[in-house]
Amino acid sequence: MMMPIIAVLFGLALLVWSADRFVEGAACTARHFGMSPLLIGMVIVGFGTSAPEMLVSALSAYQGNPGIALGNAYGSNITNIALILGIAALIRPLAVHSQVLRKELPILAGVTGLAAWQIWDGVISRADAWALLGVFAVLMTWTIRQGLQKQPDALGSQIAEQLEDHPLPLRRAGLWLVVGLVLLIVSSRILVWGAVKIAQGFGISDLIIGLTIVAVGTSLPELASTVMAARRGEHDLALGNILGSNLFNTLAVVGIAGMIHPMAVGPDVLVRDLLVMAVLTLSLFALGYGFRGIGRINRFEGAALLLSYVAYVVYLVVGVAGS
């Protein structure tokens, strides 16, 4: 059992490091070829921070472990809101602009409803996967077009500042791009192997492993970027990281995994995990609504989110112990 545990820890560390190198290399390469900072932030960085979830879920589905694939996606969404956003709000209360409540959050709520409707029959078929990827493509196209029509915003300015602070020659940027991608694949294989062996050794489902260990591990890039944004007072960037990542996970991550291998979905996913994910998503409306001005997720509400994550994990552990 020691080797699988070491594999998970090593795989997680390598996954986070290689994802960072991949994002940096891809962003600098794109900048060398004239891509705007806004598009780099929306496309390159967006895909890069979700690359661990996509690769781990795709590999899990390919190897016949759909529980890890699905648990990774939905567990990452729960982790993003309850754990990461809770920690960020504890560091510094987060302002929530009305645009988020009117546009981004309703889209995420609608996508969550689509996910519930698709797994209602107990399976994610290839047709379901195509639908998820189709919605994802439409949303990405619309978001990019909206972004290009606007003046440079906080996200574009932040990405431009980061690239200017850490310039890389084209050759080195290309090297990090290739090395980061290769190590992402290698670390994903190591992580999935260790997670499956741990699940088999303790006699628990790979879904639980995906919802907890794997979900937290693949969400570490979001944790790092969101906490850094919160410390700098960049509220839009912190909240945008979470909402964007959850859209990627629900649509692209599940869609890619379902395309590779249709997945049977147990009733626990619908009545427990997806329900928790939906409640947390809807709670952001209440937390972010400003009755006397701009909305704000304060430290008390951040602590409540963090406690809800602890309660969810304890519930999973108690369920495993009782089974």
Q: Over the stretch 14-60, which tens digit does the pLDDT of each residue have?
A: 877 877 777 677 767 766 776 655 555 556 666 666 777 888 888 88
User: Which residues lie closer than 8 Å to 320 by C-beta, 6 or more apart?
Assistant: 202, 204, 208
Provide mean pLDDT across the span 104-128: 91
pLDDT at residue 216, as a whole number? 82
Domains within the chain, CATH numbers bracketed: 2-322 (1.20.1420.30)
Q: Under DSSP, is residue 215 helix (H, G, I), strand (E, B) or coil? A: helix
pLDDT at 308: 95
In this predicted structure, what is the pLDDT of residue 154? 45
Nearest alpha-carbon partner for 70 in 32, 39, 78, 177: 78
Look at residue 38 in the predicted model and tell me its pLDDT.
52
Quickly list DSSP for 93-123.
Answer: PEEE-HHIIIIIHHHHHHHHHHHHHHTTTSE
Cα(197)–Cα(201) distance, rounded to whole angstroms?
6
Angstrom CA distances, 312 to 47, 125, 172, 300, 308, stand at: 28, 28, 43, 18, 6
| Continuous H helices in 33-169 | 37-39, 46-62, 66-78, 86-91, 98-99, 105-118, 126-149, 154-165
With a pLDDT cut of 70, the percent of the chain lying above it is 81
Q: 162: closest CA among 311, 31, 272? A: 31
Q: Find, among 205, 214, 239, 211, the residue nearest to 225 by Cα.
A: 239
Contacts of 165 (CB under 8 A, 6+ apart): none
Residues sharing a CB contact under 8 Å with residue 171, sequence separation 6 or more, in sequence order = none
